[in-house]
Structure 1
């Protein structure tokens, strides 16, 4: 083939920002531009190509002979091997000589030529060269370097020995592994050269921002930082900072700057004055973060190039997810650094709080939705607000308690008791397993898959302060063995704390919310065992700390006066930060719940309330009497006087003195009222053929009450 070519036309000159490297040079260095020219030249018809300056002539193809093909193949193999050898040598040399520092030094020189601070950049170059020497010495002493040198020396010695002892002909097979290694390296190098290089505009924009960040006039340059440090008295007027590397943008467009403070000044001093430092730079605190570097005097400075959370919240990925697994955590939102935040609630549970109307329920939907879309997670709902926020969950929930009336509160207390029993049952089952199957005595995905009775359970409690508020006013009654409301709250808090503290290891998750959970409305003993907390806007740091934990505001995490819907403070065991949760609208949540029901129907895991299951055992007065006998140990008979306190504990809204319309201290009147109400309800609820009444079993009338066999017969239960 023959091609007529003309010299390429003069390359267009594009004015680049000062200090920005011309990436087209790199294209020529890697052979991409010549490869492009060769491709154009091999086309069928020749027309002028203005981008390469190539005139393409008609192609005359000639079939190569077999010998020519063999020679060409051998030549290509030899060329590839030679390229691989050169590539290996270059990479080894570049690593051992810490070549990555050379690029940074060249960039510093470019900045100097572009008009940067000469003294500052000269100091940077000196520092980079010193660091390069340190890295070189360290790499020369690495075991891999020593082993590689010893292997190469031994291999060369073996080749010499083979040639001396036998003949040069035997050296050729011994060289095959080395040739193969060089050939593979050559193929990789050629593949790298052919890989397209994408140069998006954002790279140039970020490079421009980096260059500007090092200049004197940029608001975040080293000169400006030094002036700000002097303004807030962290350093004196005759002290300055020493840059570490160059300012660099991260993948989100934020700026990272590292520098070393003068001798005797530590980074913690600057951290303690971060608010003043932000003001001196003309930034709100939300756009600045001060961190300690690898040494006490080194500072890592993060600066947001845009105001955090200035855009709308992202739509949650759960909206479009076909299904989810609680083992994968909750995709929650983004931090002010635009980093994704995923919560692992399976081991921590969660408390939501803050002022009404600032997005607390919206954030809570994220945790709920992750469980809704997992057909192997059982949901338990306790909505004491009784509004429309969670009505979609009722079609999925195994248990649904709605409202804060006495019956709902008592049902919740019983549910907590049942969950504690469930927790004990699960731990007993885990203990009985072989040790290889129960690492750390925790539930595992394998356990949950193999046993449906071990699937994770999520208890959602909305406005938990309503439970404690409903219990507190209840009076004590010693005659009926009923503790005071305060004592009932203490007992419930103790049970909830035990459930949260231990239950998370066996798959029991609790997420709760409250308006302003102070020491009375939501006791500290309950809040302290919840490890993950989220708060929307609060009026002050005190209110924020009641949700996020004591001392959170002093550690720099507070929801006080956030004043924005959809923004909140998140506190985890590892620390806290301000976040913007993803968005799930009420309409989207309804669709998620519909999807969750279909998933459970397909997996045959729809149970309890959502499946229309009826409560076990008889309802009404017969059920209450049987529960009372069960609480007493199922004796064959119980007097009406002894039944009264048992019934008051089972259904206080019906059988407590105040519910009966008598004074709590008038025990005789209370006993009489219990007897009269029992007789009335038995007459109304029990069929005529099975009607029973209280009986007297002593002649003097001292024993009058009910027999267990009579109640079981009326309920259609065979005596045990």
Structure 2
């Protein structure tokens, strides 16, 4: 609970069966919201469809667009959760993170969200925006009750980018072929100190090193559930959700409209770029993104915008300005650099910059009066 986990292995060593086993465990908690993706397009995760809030099995354009829209929505959901956590009284949430007790208060909307992705390298390939969002969710999501269980059979830097692979608390490595793959899953220098998943034989299916659950990695044999057994567990989980009135999303026959937008953070930066400005500070760009796209960038800082565009080849420059008579020197972005990257994506090399439209002004604050208190009554869900 409240931890990110990665699973790595050679094909046919039990990686997907372990992923399914963990997802079934989560499914037996009726309050847990499951988002399940099998990007290999196989049948091993199909038993989870009757309980999944979001579900896709496949790697075509529609499947990946559905996944990306879901991940973007989860980022907005994480921002909402942190806002909720900040609003709670200190005696209710003293540590500033979701607990089991808070997760059980449905009025707060902090129930567990478990995202299961098999063959995650398919999603990460050539999509730096998705890598950036999942990395951020992996860092900050668990404290807000959002957890990822990710598996891959292609253990390399492209499948598990460094910014992401350094975050998981829980790591499970079945048989791999070399030191690099071993350490990418289990952690740096594990091979050197003798923790070697390379020693397992092809017959050791379902056996691997588990790191993060105790002081030292241990060899674990996972329980084997075949497809009929998995279906029986999922049926019991669905019955529990129906009884509790907690069957939602895809499992309840409700799916979001497909997201056909191909816009990335580059397009959003172009849309909010101030007219006539050749160089803009990152903090100013973050404010403009948050104002125009609050669901995506509502809680972003200038540093997060910098990190998000770095995979696209954009780098910071120093920008000097005079503000209130003071000379300030901060990092920012040049319009020419953004234009060059955007031009490279178009066939004719001439990107059409949108016209920036400022977001509507916020309505005036409501006057405080005895009949209209300035501070709303506390949510009865946490009294």
User: TM-score, normalized by length of structure 1?
Assistant: 0.36
Aligned: 1:547 with 2:185: yes
Report the equivalent of 2:240.
Answer: 599
Aligned: 1:435 with 2:73: no
2:4–2:142 CA contact under 8 A, matched in 1: yes
Q: CA deviation at 1:614?
A: 4.5
Q: CA deviation at 1:542?
A: 2.5
Structure 2 unaligned segments of length 5 or more: list them: 263-267, 273-344, 353-383
Aligned: 1:611 with 2:252: yes
TM-superposition CA deviations, 1:338-394 (whole Å, max 9, x none): xxxxxxxx2322101111111112222231111111111000012101110111111
In structure 2, the CA distance between the partners of 1:533 and 1:614, relative to structure 1 (3 Å rule), is closer
Report the equivalent of 1:578.
Answer: 219
Q: CA deviation at 1:410?
A: 2.4
Aligned: 1:458 with 2:98: no
CA–CA separation in structure 1 for the residues paired with 2:200 and 2:256: 46
CA–CA separation in structure 1 for the residues paired with 2:139 and 2:348: 41
CA–CA separation in structure 2 for the residues paired with 1:371 and 1:398: 12
Which runs of structure 1 show a deviation greater than 3 angstroms over 4 or more consecutive aligned residues?
A: none
- Higher-RCO chain (CA-CA 8 Å, sequence separation at least 6): 2
Match of 2:42 among 387, 405, 408: 387
2:123–2:130 CA contact under 8 A, matched in 1: no
TM-superposition CA deviations, 1:199-255 (whole Å, max 9, x none): xxxxxxxxxxxxxxxxxxxxxxxxxxxxxxxxxxxxxxxxxxxxxxxxxxxxxxxxx
Report the equivalent of 2:320.
Answer: none
Aligned: 1:373 with 2:28: yes
CA–CA separation in structure 2 for the residues paired with 1:437 and 1:516: 43
Map 1:1-400 onto structure 2 (within 5 A): 346-400=1-55
1:516–1:547 CA contact under 8 A, matched in 2: no
CA–CA separation in structure 2 for the residues paired with 1:667 and 1:357: 45
In structure 2, the CA distance between the partners of 1:537 and 1:405, relative to structure 1 (3 Å rule), is same
Match of 1:497 among 109, 118, 135: 135
Structure 1 unaligned segments of length 5 or more: list them: 1-345, 473-487, 626-630, 634-662, 672-720
Q: CA deviation at 1:465?
A: 0.7
In structure 2, the CA distance between the partners of 1:614 and 1:365, relative to structure 1 (3 Å rule), is closer
Report the equivalent of 1:524.
Answer: 162
Matched pairs, number: 272
Match of 2:73 among 418, 433, 448: 418
Match of 2:196 among 543, 547, 558: 558
2:47–2:227 CA contact under 8 A, matched in 1: no
Structure having the higher helix fraction is 1
CA–CA separation in structure 1 for the residues paired with 2:158 and 2:23: 27
Considering only aligned residues, what root-mean-square deviation do their CA atoms show, in Å? Answer: 2.7
In structure 2, the CA distance between the partners of 1:535 and 1:498, relative to structure 1 (3 Å rule), is same
In structure 2, the CA distance between the partners of 1:540 and 1:614, relative to structure 1 (3 Å rule), is closer
User: TM-score, normalized by length of structure 2?
Assistant: 0.66
